[in-house]
């Protein structure tokens, strides 16, 4: 629209239409260049007439009496300009040089390399994520296995504890019954006397059997060496002087022999075997402990 108004202004002038219908070639090129085709052929006549008609229509609305003259002038000038444009060479519009195939391939390669790099980065991240998931899965499996083992151990422990608790409960019941029996003093004494009698009977029977065996053996082979005092060579017995006495050092002698080794001034006794001294009390050798093992054998 600006080109058409400028064309009209140049043709009309400030004081009316110019007498000359010729324009500089440069102006024609400026206004008609957009109508050139790619092959350089000038198809401008129809386009110029169409633009002139639009301009003429505008002026017709402004000044109706002058519209016909202006239209004929525009057509004449357009035809003249078209003829001049056909006769004069018009420079072609410079075309943008096309990129070579190598450059296109290089750019495509760069884009593919960038895509490949990003894909590799994502793949590496996915691999690391997968490794972490596998590690977590292995740890979870180990934890589950350990949990199962712990549950089994707890179950076994509960079973053992239950059995032990039942035994303890049974034992507690028995002890409670015994405690109830002991609370009655008469019954307790009766039970203890009964047990003492049974124990005494067993002891007497045992000593009787030992005595029979010892007498039979001594009748054939003589007395046992451990039943004879090593000092006087007499047999130990229940008599006062034949009772075996244990000295402080652990040796055993009869009561009579122990009295023979007493120092009356210091009231002490010296062992005839290892020569160790021991202090005696007021009762002398009668305070020394008896060797009941020798008496009961």
- Residue 196's pLDDT is 92
Which value, to the nearest 10 degrees, does the dihedral of the CA atoms of residues 166, 171, 175, 177 take? 70
- Residue 29's pLDDT is 47
- Residue 124's pLDDT is 92
- Residue 99's pLDDT is 66
The per-residue pLDDT of the chain, averaged, comes to 75
Most confident of 43-52, 95-104, 168-177, 211-220: 168-177
Q: Which residue has the higher pLDDT, 201 or 69?
A: 201
pLDDT grade for 39, boundaries at 50, 70 and 90: very low
Nearest alpha carbon to residue 232 among 248, 253, 214? 253
CATH number for the region 223-296 comes to 3.30.40.10
- Region 256-284: mean pLDDT is 87
- Residue 20's pLDDT is 43
User: Residues of the chain with pLDDT > 90: what percent?
Assistant: 11
pLDDT digits (tens, 9 = 90+) for 79-100: 555 455 444 444 454 554 566 8
The answer to whether 77 and 20 are in contact (CB under 8 A) is no
The Cα–Cα gap between 139 and 142 comes to 5
- Residue 79's pLDDT is 52
For the packed helices 2-12 and 25-32, what is the interaxial angle rounded to 10 degrees? Answer: 150
Low-confidence winner among 67-71, 151-155, 169-173 (lowest mean pLDDT)? 67-71
Low-confidence winner among 22-36, 87-101, 147-161 (lowest mean pLDDT)? 22-36
Domain ranges of the chain: 2-87, 126-181, 184-221, 223-296
Low-confidence winner among 94-103, 145-154, 218-227, 246-255 (lowest mean pLDDT)? 94-103
CB-based contacts of 70: which residues, under 8 Å, 6+ apart?
A: 12, 17, 55, 56, 59, 60
Above 80 in pLDDT, residue 34? Answer: no
- Which residues are 253's β-sheet partners? 245
- Residue 98's pLDDT is 62
Above 50 in pLDDT, residue 37? Answer: no
Most confident of 66-75, 83-92, 142-151: 142-151
pLDDT grade for 176, boundaries at 50, 70 and 90: confident
Low-confidence winner among 9-23, 96-110, 173-187 (lowest mean pLDDT)? 9-23
CB-based contacts of 77: which residues, under 8 Å, 6+ apart?
A: 11, 21, 23, 52
- Which residues are 245's β-sheet partners? 253, 290
Nearest alpha carbon to residue 294 among 224, 240, 193, 247? 224
Both structure tokens of 265: 């001034």
Both structure tokens of 195: 């047990």
Low-confidence winner among 83-87, 103-107, 266-270 (lowest mean pLDDT)? 83-87
């Amino acid at each position: 629209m600006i080109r058409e108004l400028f064309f009209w202004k140049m043709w009309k002038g400030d004081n009316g239409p110019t007498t000359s219908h010729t324009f500089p070639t440069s102006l024609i090129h400026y206004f008609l260049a957009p109508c050139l085709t790619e092959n350089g052929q000038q198809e401008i006549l129809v386009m110029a007439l169409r633009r002139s008609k639009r301009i003429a229509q505008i002026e017709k609305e402004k000044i109706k009496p002058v519209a016909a003259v202006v239209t004929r002038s525009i057509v004449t000038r357009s035809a003249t300009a078209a003829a001049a444009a056909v006769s004069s060479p018009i420079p072609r519009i410079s075309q943008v040089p096309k990129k070579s195939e190598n450059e296109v391939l290089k750019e495509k390669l760069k884009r593919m390399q960038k895509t490949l790099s990003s894909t590799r980065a994502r793949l590496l991240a996915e691999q690391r994520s997968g490794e972490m998931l596998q590690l977590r899965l292995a740890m979870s499996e180990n934890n589950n296995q350990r949990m199962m083992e712990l549950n089994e151990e707890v179950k076994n422990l509960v079973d053992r504890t239950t059995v032990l608790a039942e035994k303890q409960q049974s034992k507690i019941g028995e002890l409670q019954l015994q405690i109830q029996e002991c609370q009655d003093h008469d019954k307790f004494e009766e039970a203890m006397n009964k047990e003492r009698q049974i124990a005494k009977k067993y002891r007497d029977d045992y000593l009787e059997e030992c005595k029979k065996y010892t007498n039979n053996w001594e009748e054939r082979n003589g007395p046992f060496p451990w039943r004879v005092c090593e000092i006087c060579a007499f047999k130990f017995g229940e008599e006062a002087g034949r009772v075996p006495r244990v000295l402080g050092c652990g040796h055993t002698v009869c009561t009579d022999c122990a009295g023979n080794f007493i120092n009356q001034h210091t009231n002490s006794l010296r062992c005839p075997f290892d020569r160790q001294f021991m202090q005696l009390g007021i009762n002398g050798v009668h305070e020394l402990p008896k060797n009941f093992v020798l008496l009961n054998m």
